[in-house]
Structure 1
Amino acid sequence: MGVNWRQWGKEAFDDARRMEKPLLLSISATWCHWCHVMDEKTYSDPKVVARIEQDFIPVRVDADRRPDIDRRYNMGGWPTTAFLTPDGNLIAGATYLPPQEMLQAMDAVLQSQDDRGLWRQRPLQRTGVQPEAADAILAEILLAYDTVYGGFGRAPKFPQPYVLRFLLEEYVRSSRDELREPLVKTLREMAEGGMYDQVEGGFFRYSTTRDWSIPHYEKMLEDNALLLGVYLDAYLATAQDEFSRVARDLCRFLLGPLRDEGKGVFYGSQEAHQEYYLLDQAGRAKLGPPPVDRTVYVNWNALACASLIRAADVLEEPHLAEQAERTLAFLLDECTLTSGPAYHYYADGPHLAGLLEDQTALAAGLMEAFQYTGKEEFLHRAEGLIDWACRSLWDDEAGCFRDTQESLLGPVWPFMENAGAALTLLKLHALTGEEDYRERVGLILGNLLARWKDYGYMAGELASALRLYAQGSITVVVSGPKAMELARIARREYLPGKVVSPGEPSDEDRALICVGDRCLAPVKTKEELRQSLSKIRTEPLRM
């Protein structure tokens, strides 16, 4: 006996109105241990099931497949248990509820007339762009830094790749030891502790303890793809060989249990299985690996592509870029409309077109492929995705992007996704020179600055966008018979905000480096290019 879950959609809300019943929304995930426990205990309890059937319209949503719904109603973790009015307003919510607490919660909801309408909140009033706000975010990051064990905050402790990325960028820009120490210590503690699978590779989702010793054992494609990029660039910036080793292990993990070699794509996650991960290699072989969620998420696959292309340069492993190109081909052919947006996920076909994060993540992955290969088609497809988002998701009143084109409940203007969009638009501006992209970034930053304090130190991606907007991208344009060799040198140097692109055909080797609207004299040899890039790193604002 169990709950007869319904799909999220107009029909469920129409029935709720007609029958005058609230909705019970369960937001779950395949990798979530406590979601499975709640299904086995609470949603299999006869009293709970009978009460739901009598008084509620039960709706089940997968958090990964419907991030737009998860954003609106998540109560701080998974499973999320939310009670909604027939108009979609939040009445009350919780995370895991055992059977007796679930019965009490349902009683309280039925007696309550609370209709807060949290989803109706409009974006806060815009401010002007304040580049100095990046300093305030950096101060929050350093305040949250755990000087004993690394990381940020206490427990549970998450990897925070966007915070680490901003710390890395700030260290490279300034060479300040007080920024290097939290960066290096955190990356080292995560890789040497229980957060990292020392047998098979791959980071677990988070640590339940402050010292990284006891992880929550699911492995997510998104986390590992983002952390791969951080470890690669941290290796270049700090010359810590162990970071290179971790990056190589992460590549093997991504191309192992999470890889569909037939389609050339990546699966979403591998489930938590504590008994398995406490065994050595021989014991694991006998037990068999934890199940894998075989859903193909477009945004996460695009993140993996961007990091693998980066790894191809940093680790000098060209086959990694070839694997990423295979993935991008699938995403473009099977998960993207020719004249429209990318879908969110693929499971026996593509589903849910037009979410903001898929357009920006796929565009970013395509731009990495363009820089690596010089193939104009990658850049054109990136432009197409962003242009669609600007036409279909842009909100002039708010000065930022909505999360989706269509919603039963009205728009949301997501903070994190707009910060990511700002970085993608700045990179596209650097590669194309199209000023509209940069102008939109100014509006986005004005919107996000009005609400960044709600996110505190976790606003690292916004801080990265603020710095890049204020200082300008570093563009390296290469041409001549040895253009690809020059491009490879330029790509392998780590500088925040750097892009590399082919120039006009020429019989003479040349690399032109510009920071914003300021350019150095052209260089002709690989050694001159290295010296110029080194100069930018040490004297970025005094050229």
Structure 2
Amino acid sequence: MSERRYTNRLIHETSLYLRQHAQNPVDWYPWGEEAFERARREDKPILLSIGYSACHWCHVMERESFENEEIARVMNEHFVNIKVDREERPDLDAIYMSVVQAMTGHGGWPLTVFLTPEGIPFYGGTYFPPVDRHGLPAFPRVLRAVAEAYRTRRQEIEKVGQEVLDHLRAMNTWRPSDRDVTPELLEAAYRALAEQFDTTYGGFGRAPKFPAPMVLEFLLRMYLRTGDADALQMVEHTLTRMARGGIYDHLGGGFHRYATDAQWLIPHFEKMLYDNALLAHAYLAAYQLTRNPLYREVVEETLQYVLREMTDPQGGFYATQDADSEGEEGKFYVWTPEEIRAVLGEREGEIVCRYFGVTEWGNFEGKTVLSVPRDPEVIARLEGLTVSELEAIIRRARRALWEHREQRVKPARDEKILAAWNGLMLRSFARAAVVLGRDEFYHAARRNAEFLLTALRRDGALWHLFADGVAKIPAYQDDYACVIDGLLALYEADFDPRWFREALALTDAMLERFWDTEHGGFFYTSAEHTDVLVRVKEAFDQATPSGNAVAAEVFLRLYHFTGDATYWERAQTILRLFADPMRRHPYGFGRLLCALDWALAPTQEIALVGDPEAPTTRAMRRILSERYLPHAVIAFRRIGDEEAPRLIPLLRDREPLRESDGRPAPCTAYVCQNFTCHQPVTRAEELERLLPPVPSATA
């Protein structure tokens, strides 16, 4: 590894990932006109490298190649080199990743793409080693071959570039399905997902195995729709195996990015804000349906981890924690039996090692990633303990081991604050505050909303990220959709009309900036993003939900709050636009399948009018929070409040019923289904009878 004798342009960037490369001998540029102008002037191809700060293999390629002076010399001699943080520029990442996937059949990070001076890709890959290894060509060999091809085979490269442009335009041209979207599409998707399900370990497919929270939530919806026990069993089996696997941090809470194996044991150790937002929401929904205390525990520990480790003093949520510390992947998280006995003593140390599967030989490079491989009842019996005695030992041990682990060097944290990811976490905190009755979760949600609407909004428009005290890059469509979704969840947590008003304003801005007036659906970029080859129309969920899918569900919510049919029509347009790929590739459309389920389900519009502090109001809200009601919107109006019904038509003409003595009832509930209403009720048990029943599972 070379000494830090170099400084390049990335030293001035706000991105942690870019600054991590600021002392490479590579003459890096950030994405921008300066780099392209030089490439055109010198007639050099561009080497575009895309990654992110928590990416383990990005760090590996930096150590092996970008810090290697000889490799850097070749890069600097033959290319104009550009570094991009994919979390800052997801639009660029989406375009160039799709090209590499089409060229090679796979993708991932670090992403390595070679471009013409006009930004048109003609060759690419992902990680390249410094020498030929495991069937991958050495990076220096790739560099020289590409440089030679650019000099001697220009016409061929231009032909490839034109084919790439044609491919990009074609893949982002969507036409609505000529078939109606019906429950048959949901049933076909469910059958296809069931075929991919891993009945042994849960989840879908083989190693490496990624959490699929949006697909799991769709399966919960299918259980609610059909009563099919298999749908619920797939969700429960997956959630339980993940919660007991090494992908979950058993000491500090929160989930790592994915598992390298099929059984959820050994993770890639980075922690991403979006994974924890989406998984917390999925576990919360499963808890509402099953009341399994494990799921509640996972939600609480995950959100407490975010509060403790990933929350900015101003209220924003940070992006990621790295996989590595002290230059080693996973070092912060792994244990030996000797370390555990030193912290806990011999007897409790042995019990805890058996509980968490810690052995002398380990499961990861000679040490052990903690998991719970056997049922607590089995461990208790083997150790001659009652289950309650074992649970008490494990509680004490987890605290002691966590405190000991806190003395280690922590993985680096990327403290940029991204609008879309914050919107996902805002929704989870707001929903958990209501379902679990946790005030600290509500306060975190409210502070986050205040932050997003001040630090990341200017003149009515959102910005994509906040770093080093500055908001930068105009927001993308999923930024708008996820923040709106979070604001609507916060409205249903505290019924402050401000959040609903802000959601409406951002929805108008999203439509103005991103809606495709010709074919429908949303482009990912607005007209303000002028430095992209094509305007991508995001269809598939990636690690985060598609912005179109989130928007479709937002439109359905707003339709049932307001009765404005325009929202319904927009949602239907999105559903028809992506119906055919949704049918062919259901695993990539979990969130849009949830939206389709909602569009085809009876929706409950629930309006409460009364005193928010009255015991009856609290009892009604408790009933609503305990039930899994994915197809419901809930609004509240204080007696005498004139603003709320003007803003939310669902509350118009909703007056409290009168008690026998003529006084207004403490709370009156109006329950409607697809705008057809039952008689209003004033008692919590009457409200409960009007709600849809929880299905009885059928085999």
Give the Cα–Cα distance (whole angstroms) in 2 for the partners of residues 156 and 321 of structure 1.
35
Question: What SS does structure 1 have at the residue aligned with 2:635?
Answer: strand
1:237 Cα deviation after fit: 0.3
1:484 Cα deviation after fit: 4.5
Matching residue within 326, 332, 337 for 1:276: 332
1:318 Cα deviation after fit: 1.9
1:282 Cα deviation after fit: 5.3
Matching residue within 135, 159, 177 for 2:229: 177
Identify the residue that residue 126 of structure 2 maps to in structure 1: 95
**Comparing 100-109 and 436-445, the one that deviates more:** 100-109
- Aligned residue type for 2:231: L
Identify the residue that residue 401 of structure 1 maps to in structure 2: 522
Identity over aligned pairs, percent: 33
Q: Is the 8 A contact 1:342 1:359 kept in 2?
A: no
Q: Deviations over 1:73-132 (max 9, x none)?
A: 124211111112223222121111112422222234331612222433332322144233
Give the Cα–Cα distance (whole angstroms) in 1 for the partners of residues 308 and 54 of structure 2.
18
4+ runs of 1 displaced by more than 6 Å? none
Assess, with a 3 A threshold, how the Cα gap between structure 1 residues 148 and 330 changes in structure 2: closer, same or farther. Answer: same
- What are the ranges of 5 or more consecutive residues in structure 2 without an aligned counterpart? 1-23, 101-106, 132-137, 325-329, 336-400, 540-545, 637-650, 657-663
Give the Cα–Cα distance (whole angstroms) in 2 for the partners of residues 354 and 281 of structure 1.
38
Matched, 1:411 2:463: no
Matched, 1:253 2:411: no
Give the Cα–Cα distance (whole angstroms) in 1 for the partners of residues 81 and 306 of structure 2.
36
Assess, with a 3 A threshold, how the Cα gap between structure 1 residues 526 and 458 changes in structure 2: closer, same or farther. Answer: same
- Aligned residue type for 1:411: R
Q: Is the 8 A contact 1:25 1:84 kept in 2?
A: yes
Q: Is the 8 A contact 2:485 2:550 kept in 1?
A: no
1:172 Cα deviation after fit: 2.1
Q: Is the 8 A contact 2:560 2:633 kept in 1?
A: yes
Q: Is the 8 A contact 2:481 2:551 kept in 1?
A: yes
Matching residue within 17, 22, 26 for 1:3: 26
1:342 Cα deviation after fit: 4.1
- Aligned residue type for 1:457: Y
Assess, with a 3 A threshold, how the Cα gap between structure 1 residues 341 and 177 changes in structure 2: closer, same or farther. Answer: same
1:505 Cα deviation after fit: 5.2
- Aligned residue type for 1:424: V
**Comparing 34-43 and 477-486, the one that deviates more:** 477-486
1:285 Cα deviation after fit: 2.9
- Aligned residue type for 2:110: P
Give the Cα–Cα distance (whole angstroms) in 2 for the partners of residues 89 and 513 of structure 1.
56
Matched, 1:515 2:515: no
Identify the residue that residue 302 of structure 1 maps to in structure 2: 423
Identify the residue that residue 186 of structure 1 maps to in structure 2: 238
**Comparing 412-421 and 124-133, the one that deviates more:** 124-133
Question: What SS does structure 2 have at the residue aligned with 1:412?
Answer: coil
Q: What aligned pairs does 1:358-377 form with structure 2 within 5 A after superposition? A: 358-377=479-498
Q: Is the 8 A contact 1:172 1:237 kept in 2?
A: no
1:17 Cα deviation after fit: 2.6
Identify the residue that residue 480 of structure 1 maps to in structure 2: 610
Question: What SS does structure 2 have at the residue aligned with 1:26?
Answer: strand
Identify the residue that residue 22 of structure 1 maps to in structure 2: 45
1:453 Cα deviation after fit: 5.5
**Comparing 431-440 and 143-152, the one that deviates more:** 431-440
1:15 Cα deviation after fit: 2.8
Matching residue within 106, 110, 114 for 1:79: 110
Q: What aligned pairs does 1:181-220 form with structure 2 within 5 A after superposition? A: 181-220=233-272
**Comparing 198-207 and 16-25, the one that deviates more:** 16-25
Question: What SS does structure 2 have at the residue aligned with 1:267?
Answer: coil
Give the Cα–Cα distance (whole angstroms) in 2 for the partners of residues 344 and 285 of structure 1.
29
- What are the ranges of 5 or more consecutive residues in structure 1 without an aligned counterpart? none
Matching residue within 465, 476, 483 for 1:355: 476
Identify the residue that residue 464 of structure 1 maps to in structure 2: 594
Matching residue within 613, 616, 632 for 1:498: 632
CA RMSD of aligned residues (A): 1.9
Assess, with a 3 A threshold, how the Cα gap between structure 1 residues 379 and 471 changes in structure 2: closer, same or farther. Answer: same
Give the Cα–Cα distance (whole angstroms) in 2 for the partners of residues 104 and 452 of structure 1.
41
Give the Cα–Cα distance (whole angstroms) in 1 for the partners of residues 285 and 112 of structure 2.
39
1:468 Cα deviation after fit: 1.1
Identify the residue that residue 660 of structure 2 maps to in structure 1: none
Give the Cα–Cα distance (whole angstroms) in 2 for the partners of residues 487 and 52 of structure 1.
62
Give the Cα–Cα distance (whole angstroms) in 2 for the partners of residues 398 and 266 of structure 1.
35
Identify the residue that residue 153 of structure 1 maps to in structure 2: 205
Question: What SS does structure 1 have at the residue aligned with 2:458?
Answer: coil
Question: What SS does structure 2 have at the residue aligned with 1:186?
Answer: helix
Identify the residue that residue 126 of structure 1 maps to in structure 2: 176
Give the Cα–Cα distance (whole angstroms) in 1 for the partners of residues 585 and 550 of structure 2.
15
Q: Is the 8 A contact 2:177 2:577 kept in 1?
A: yes
1:70 Cα deviation after fit: 1.2
- Aligned residue type for 1:61: V
1:283 Cα deviation after fit: 4.6
- Report the structure number with the largest CA radius of gyration: 2
Q: Is the 8 A contact 2:245 2:264 kept in 1?
A: yes
Assess, with a 3 A threshold, how the Cα gap between structure 1 residues 202 and 270 changes in structure 2: closer, same or farther. Answer: same
- Aligned residue type for 2:308: G
Question: What SS does structure 1 have at the residue aligned with 2:127?
Answer: coil
Give the Cα–Cα distance (whole angstroms) in 2 for the partners of residues 476 and 363 of structure 1.
20
- Aligned residue type for 2:144: D
Question: What SS does structure 1 have at the residue aligned with 2:84?
Answer: strand
- Aligned residue type for 2:55: C
